Amino acid sequence: MKSAQIIENMLKLQQKLNDETNGLGWEEGYTKEGKLISWRRCIYMECAELIDSFAWKHWKNISEPTNWENVRIEIVDIWHFILSLLLENKKKDQDFSLFSTEIASIGEFKDFCNEENKPSDNKNEIYSILNDIELIIHKCSGFKLELDELLSVYFTLAIKCGLNLDSLYKIYIGKNVLNIFRQDHGYKNGTYVKNWNGKEDNEILNEILKTEFDYEKIYNRLEEEYKKTLSCKS
């Protein structure tokens, strides 16, 4: 599958998820319930969660190793919201194929399509990653937003954290399924249980993705694990 086609597939999946979760017309900035949507705020709040995946505190757990599996999930969570921001700014008459080709033309995207790099806990590399995260926050919290610049910084950050396009796509598929699963099981109204017998649902998803990539099979595995959680609580 070509790189631009992978981007196109993710755009379409994100469009479908947003349509189902927020209602048709969410691109105008409001959900079907009338809630204001701010994808930029979503991005920088997820960035704050990503920062907490690193031992950035100078007064606490200063030698704690980085949980790189969690970092990868957080990077993909940010990507969900960047895709949503891109879709919100997409021209109405522009097809997905042309739009994905434009995204794939970003300079750093070519490097993002290469083999994965293995990240390390070298402090200078961690500081560099934190700087990139904060740069994304800066770009999303200012008055002027340049989407090309945001994508450039994001692809650079993802590379430093050990992802490439293929691994992003795999985790994105899994997280897309989990997001749909959450919505189907009461995430919006607050009845969804996120901790499954001592593990967050993201951790369960990571375990499933080691052996599954099929959309329906991932959902069914999540259903099986969730039922075990609910039976233990009853």
Can you give the pLDDT at residue 168? 96
Q: What is this structure's pTM?
A: 0.90
Span 17-41, average pLDDT? 95
| Cα–Cα distance for residue pair 52/71, rounded to 1 Å | 9
Can you give the pLDDT at residue 99? 94
| Cα–Cα distance for residue pair 110/55, rounded to 1 Å | 30
Taking the CA atoms of residue 146, residue 167, residue 115 and residue 161 in that order, the dihedral angle to the nearest 10 degrees is 60
Span 78-83, average pLDDT? 97
Domain locations in the chain as residue ranges = 3-184, 193-234
Fold for 3-184, please state it: all-alpha NTP pyrophosphatase fold (1.10.4010)
Can you give the pLDDT at residue 148? 94
The DSSP bridge partners found for residue 30 are 36
For the chain, give the percent of residues with pLDDT over 90. 82
Query: What mean pLDDT is reported for the chain?
Result: 93
Q: Which pLDDT tens digit goes with each residue over 166-225?
A: 999 999 999 999 999 999 999 988 999 999 988 899 999 989 998 988 989 999 999 999
Q: Is the pLDDT of residue 139 over 80?
A: yes
CA–CA distance from 141 to each of 106, 150, 155, 156, 184 (Å)?
22, 12, 19, 19, 31
Span 25-36, average pLDDT? 96
pLDDT band at 77 (very low <50, low <70, confident <90, very high): very high
Span 122-145, average pLDDT? 93
Q: Which pLDDT tens digit goes with each residue over 90-119?
A: 988 889 999 999 999 999 999 999 999 899
pLDDT band at 233 (very low <50, low <70, confident <90, very high): low
Taking the CA atoms of residue 162, residue 58, residue 77 and residue 29 in that order, the dihedral angle to the nearest 10 degrees is -140
Can you give the pLDDT at residue 92? 82
Q: Is the pLDDT of residue 234 over 70?
A: no
Can you give the pLDDT at residue 106? 94
